[in-house]
Amino acid sequence: MNPSPSASSRTRGVASTSSYPLRSRRLSPAVAVCAVLLLSLCAGFAAMAEEKEAIEWSVEAPLAAKSLLLDIARVEGLDVVVGERGHILVSHDAGATWRQAKVPTRATLTGVWFHDGKRGWAVGHDAVIVRTTDGGVTWERVHWDPGAESPFLDVLFVNESRGFAIGAYGALYVTEDGGKSWASEPISDEDDFHLNQIARSASGKLYIAAEAGAIYRSDDDGVSWTKLESPYDGSFFGVMPLESDALLIFGLRGHLLRSEDAGANWTAVDTGTVAMLNSGVLLPDGTIVVAGLGGVVLVSKDGGRTFSLHQQQTRAGIQAVVDAGGGRLLLAGEGGVRALALTELVAKEGK
C-alpha cells in the first residue's frame, strides 16, 4: 500500500490570513535522520510483509505418504522423504509410521539431504531451498526464485557448513554458512546441461550425473570441476560411488556404466531392462541395489559387475531407494513410500 501524503503536501482547507512572513520549513538534521530511519523501517516492514505473503505453506494431506515422493534421506535412525506439493514426511521407526511436516512451500521437492539427525535441507521447483535444524519438525525457506524457471534437482553437503544445490540448465549453487545464503557458481562456461544427481565418495571426490551423457568430478570439494569422457550420450540420473575409486552411473533406457578409476574409463554393464534407472544403494554386506521406473529393481552381489533383474508386480516407478536396516529397503516414487524386504527380491529372482 502506498503511504499517504505527508501533512505538508496536503491542501489546506483554510487560506492563511497571517501577515507575518512564512518561516522556512527545512527539517533540522536530527529530524531528517529520524525521517530516513522511519522510511527505512517502513520499507523493511513492507518487504517482510511481502515475503510473508509470498509463502504458500504445504497443505496437510492424510494420504501424503501415498503421493508422488521423489527422494529419501536416512541418518541416525531418521528417515525423511520429500515430493510433490511441498510434502515432507518424517519417520523414526524405519518407515513404519510417517508424520507430515509443515513446510513453507507448495513447490514439488526433488531432493533431500541430512548432515545429521538435526540438520537437513530439501530442494525443488521454483528454485526453492528449505532447511531444518530440529530433525524435520520445523522448516524455513532460505532460497526461492520462481522467476528463474529453473528447478533444483538434488542437494548435498560435505560438512555442516558447505553444501551444493544443483539443477536444470547447469544450475549449481553453493553455501558456506549451513544454507543460510546461497551463491550461483556455474559448473561450466560451455555447458548448460541439467544436473540431476550429486554424490560424494568415501575418498572425498564429488560426482555429478547430468543429461547428454555429461559426467562431472571434483577433487577439491567443488572448488573446481572436470568434465569426464563418457561413452554414452543419453541422460544420467544417478551416480553411486563404491569402494576406493570405483563407481556406477546410470540413467535412460537401462544404461549402467561401471568405472574402476574415478571415471577415467568406463565399462557398460548389461541390466536386462530399458527402464530409466534413478537411484542406488550399497548395503553393508556389499550388495548393490539400483532401482528405476516400471518397478525395476537390479541387484548385484559382485560389486556392480553383473546384475539380476527383479520386476515389481505393481510396476510403480521408483525414484529413490535407501537401506532401512533389518534386511529391508525403503522405496519412494509413484504411490508414495513403502518398505520392501530383500527376501521378497530373492523369491522373485529368475521369474
Between 30 and 160, the higher pLDDT residue? 160
Q: What is the mean pLDDT of the chain?
A: 87
Whether the model pTM is above 0.75? yes
For residue 21, pLDDT over 50 is answered with no
Joined together, the cell numbers standing for residue 39 give 522510511
Rounded Cα distance between 322 and 324, Å, is 6
Q: pLDDT per residue over 209-226, tens digit each?
A: 999 999 999 999 999 999
Rounded Cα distance between 140 and 102, Å, is 10
Q: Rounded to the nearest 10 degrees, how much is the dihedral formed by the CA atoms of 212, 236, 249, 324? A: 170
Which pLDDT band, with edges at 50, 70 and 90, does 46 fall under?
very low
What is the mean pLDDT of the segment spanning 44-54?
A: 50
Closest CA to 184 of 195, 172, 169, 198: 172
What is the mean pLDDT of the segment spanning 88-98?
A: 96
What is the mean pLDDT of the segment spanning 244-248?
A: 96
Which pLDDT band, with edges at 50, 70 and 90, does 35 fall under?
very low
What is the mean pLDDT of the segment spanning 159-183?
A: 97
Placement of cell 513453507 in the chain: 104
Burial class for 140, CB neighbours closer than 10 Å (0-12, 13-18, 19+): middle
Contact partners, residue 38, CB within 8 Å, separation at least 6: none
Per-residue pLDDT, 325 = 92
Per-residue pLDDT, 345 = 81
Between 264 and 22, the higher pLDDT residue? 264
Per-residue pLDDT, 312 = 86
* One-letter amino acid for residue 117 of the chain: G
Per-residue pLDDT, 36 = 46
Which pLDDT band, with edges at 50, 70 and 90, does 142 fall under?
very high
Per-residue pLDDT, 351 = 43
* Phi, psi values for residue 52, rounded to 5°: -65, -40
Which pLDDT band, with edges at 50, 70 and 90, does 346 fall under?
low
Q: What percent of the chain has pLDDT over 90?
A: 78
Rounded Cα distance between 177 and 109, Å, is 22
Which pLDDT band, with edges at 50, 70 and 90, does 17 fall under?
very low
For residue 7, pLDDT over 50 is answered with no
For residue 11, pLDDT over 70 is answered with no
What is the mean pLDDT of the segment spanning 262-281?
A: 97
Which pLDDT band, with edges at 50, 70 and 90, does 347 fall under?
very low
What is the mean pLDDT of the segment spanning 276-290?
A: 97
Contact between 106 and 57 (Cβ < 8 Å): yes
Q: What percent of the chain has pLDDT over 70?
A: 83
Q: pLDDT per residue over 71-91, tens digit each?
A: 999 999 999 999 999 999 999
Q: pLDDT per residue over 129-141, tens digit each?
A: 999 999 999 999 9
Per-residue pLDDT, 39 = 52
What is the mean pLDDT of the segment spanning 56-75?
A: 96
For residue 313, what are the CA distances in angstroms to 177, 293, 294, 295, 337? 45, 12, 9, 7, 16
For residue 203, pLDDT over 60 is answered with yes
Per-residue pLDDT, 190 = 87
Joined together, the cell numbers standing for residue 342 give 530383500
Rounded Cα distance between 38 and 226, Å, is 51
Which pLDDT band, with edges at 50, 70 and 90, does 329 fall under?
very high
Which of 25-29, 49-53, 324-328, 329-333 is modeled with the greatest confidence?
329-333
